[in-house]
Amino acid sequence: MPRLFQEHKLRPVTLLDGLWNFAFLGDMDVDDVDITSIKCDSYMPVPACFDAMPQYAGKRGLVAYRKEIYLDEAARHRLVFDTVHHWGRVLFDGTVLHDHVGGFTQFTVDLPQSAPGSHELVVLVDNRLDYDHSPLHLDYFDWYHYGGISGSVSLHHLPESWIDRVTITVDDLTSRNMTMSIRYGTIKAQTLPLSIAIDDHFIIDEEVALSEGNGVLNYHFNLPEAALWSPNDPHLHMAAVQLGTDDLYERFGIRKVEAKQGQILINGEPQLLLGFNRHQSHPQFGYTIPQNIDYSDLMLLRDMGCNFIRGSHYPQTRSFLDLCDELGFMMWVESIGWGHTVGHLTDPHFVNAQHAHIAEMIAMSENHPSIILWGILNEGYSYDEKTTPTYAALLGQIREEDPTRPVTYACNYPFTDAHLDLVDVVSINQYPGWYQGELEDVPQLIDDFINYVDEHGQADKPIIISEIGAGAIYGWRDSHHTRWSEGYQSALLETVIKHLFFDRDRVCGLAIWQYHDIRTTQLARMALARPRDFNNKGVLDEYRRPKEAYQVVKRLFTELNSK
């Protein structure tokens, strides 16, 4: 979906969205594909998840997309793929240029120097669940893995020197002391004019000497008058960077996030995070959520009094984060994960794929002020010390690439977790009154895990309840308030919210599981029943129709917000 601002005004960018030629190849090995013999004789829109469309609903296999593209005389051309689910091979005039593992993150492919004119672009996309090929997406995850070129594709026409990435960080909030790092590439050493404007005021205008290859330029500056970003007053600023004839616009907010003394602070103010887990999915669109649905989801969340969203369980689209920046939502963004075993977490094949995925997650979203927390690996086997090196390495990578935000992971082993000392924020997923105990046990069960964490060395850290909830089938109203009824779900959430925030005040954040019902993959076959093959713990159903709990959450969150 389109971003909320234009990233380039000088750099020519051709959007390749629209109808592409398409073929469903099925159960074929990607290395056996003979590109010349593929007949892409049907069409598929880009962006779209092909398997969310009725014609291919639920199908897994290899597919081919084909598009004719036109190159001009410019020195270089770069393809930018917003998201491809969940394995992609890019071929240009029949030559393999790039294989990409994992959906949800943006990646780029530089095209070889070529004659101006028409060329053939083929993208082979695989949505099969095959660990050897695609270790980040496993068949037991509790959400549906949609496939396809699910995000926009664009062709960037680059001059001889170009801007790759601009990172803007706040060094000191009081003086608004900032650092901007500009990563660039150049095919030859040269001196070029460089300018930086913030909100249309030039702060740097000079000549820079670039040496051949890739480099970084760092600038420090103060913006003493600039307004801050906060959830209640989300001011944004626009940085315009021009290097020679190339440019890049980045929107940012000035704010500081801290995790200390049991609190999460934004600009020194403690925050009470109230919200939901949200999957980026819809039964009709898969992961390709139209902007009106992203926006109306945020409006419904706001109506319930929410200020916080955990983007479960993978990186979020930049267009959604743009909306969160504008509307003042606080986001937890995490790398893909769901119940990874010791085997995965000690396998270099998996760990290396996570490192690459995390690097892409940070690169694409580091300037969003709405992101206040990075997470990794939802509910991995964090109780086993054999997994400690992987947790340490992945969290360490995030801290090194972005030292400005606290880090966490959602743990569902609060009594046995082996590396909570590695995080800044302790996040706990538990289901009292659903998987554990009855409704009347909920307060005691909550106390048990919170007190345990506090008594075992984490008393100074903020605690977020990152998942808690109950399943309810939309429309199932029952005077017995049995499990799966809307009444049981609303009674459970009422008990949870009252106990966490009215009876006690140790926890600083709640992400209810979950905002809306989602289609799931394989769990229906397992003990954790998933009626309809959906995870039905949404407070809204998959079409965003509210269940009874909506009003309960709204009443309690509204009361908490006015305290």
Q: Which is nearer to ligand ADA, 134 or 521 (CB)?
A: 521
142 is a site residue for ligand ADA (CB under 6 A): yes
* Strand 269-270 to 534-535 pairing: unpaired
The distance of closest approach from Cβ of residue 281 to ligand ADA in the complex, given in angstroms and rounded to an integer, is 12
Q: Which residues pair with 85 in a beta bridge?
A: 148
Site string for ligand ADA, 85-124 (x = CB under 6 A): ----------------------------------------
Name which of residues 300 to 319 contact ligand ADA (CB under 6 A).
Answer: 313
Distances (CA, A) of 152 to 71, 436, 504: 18, 43, 46
Distance between start and end Cα atoms, the chain: 37
* Strand 263-266 to 177-186 pairing: unpaired
The distance of closest approach from Cβ of residue 530 to ligand ADA in the complex, given in angstroms and rounded to an integer, is 8
Amino acid at 149: I
Name which of residues 380 to 419 contact ligand ADA (CB under 6 A).
Answer: 412
126 is a site residue for ligand ADA (CB under 6 A): no
Q: Which two tokens stand for residue 131?
A: 């660990």
Q: Which is nearer to ligand ADA, 435 or 502 (CB)?
A: 435
Q: Which is nearer to ligand ADA, 461 or 537 (CB)?
A: 537
The binder of ligand ADA chosen from 144, 513, 515, 534 (CB under 6 A): 513
Amino acid at 303: D
Q: What share of the chain is helix, strand, coil (3-state, %, to 5)?
A: 25, 35, 40
Q: Which is nearer to ligand ADA, 90 or 138 (CB)?
A: 138
517 is a site residue for ligand ADA (CB under 6 A): no
CA distance 8 to 17: 17
378 is a site residue for ligand ADA (CB under 6 A): yes
Name which of residues 191 to 230 contact ligand ADA (CB under 6 A).
Answer: none
Name which of residues 432 to 471 contact ligand ADA (CB under 6 A).
Answer: 467
Question: Quick check: helix, strand or coil at residue 500?
Answer: helix
489 is a site residue for ligand ADA (CB under 6 A): no
- Cβ neighbours for 59, distance < 8 A, ≥ 6 positions apart: 24, 50, 51
- Cβ neighbours for 247, distance < 8 A, ≥ 6 positions apart: 8, 9, 10, 11, 163, 240, 241
The distance of closest approach from Cβ of residue 379 to ligand ADA in the complex, given in angstroms and rounded to an integer, is 5
Q: Which two tokens stand for residue 339?
A: 């119940």
537 is a site residue for ligand ADA (CB under 6 A): yes
Phi then psi dihedrals of residue 156, to 5 deg: -100, 135
The binder of ligand ADA chosen from 274, 535, 547, 552 (CB under 6 A): 535
Q: Which is nearer to ligand ADA, 150 or 536 (CB)?
A: 536
Q: Which is nearer to ligand ADA, 78 or 537 (CB)?
A: 537
335 is a site residue for ligand ADA (CB under 6 A): no
- Cβ neighbours for 77, distance < 8 A, ≥ 6 positions apart: 71, 110, 111, 114, 155, 156, 157, 158
Contact between 184 and 162 under an 8 Å Cβ cutoff? The reply is yes
- Cβ neighbours for 367, distance < 8 A, ≥ 6 positions apart: 166, 167, 168, 250, 251, 252
22 is a site residue for ligand ADA (CB under 6 A): no
CA distance 318 to 365: 7
Q: Which is nearer to ligand ADA, 67 or 537 (CB)?
A: 537
By beta-carbon distance, which residue lies closest to ligand ADA? Answer: 142
The distance of closest approach from Cβ of residue 539 to ligand ADA in the complex, given in angstroms and rounded to an integer, is 13
282 is a site residue for ligand ADA (CB under 6 A): no
Residue entry with tokens 């590439």: 185
Handedness of CA 410, 414, 418, 419 (dihedral sign): positive
Residues contacting ligand ADA: total by CB under 6 A: 12
Q: Which is nearer to ligand ADA, 106 or 378 (CB)?
A: 378
The binder of ligand ADA chosen from 429, 489, 490, 521 (CB under 6 A): 429
The distance of closest approach from Cβ of residue 474 to ligand ADA in the complex, given in angstroms and rounded to an integer, is 16
Q: Which residues pair with 123 in a beta bridge?
A: 65, 90
**Contact residues: ligand ADA, CB under 6 A:** 142, 313, 338, 378-379, 412, 429, 467, 513, 528, 535, 537
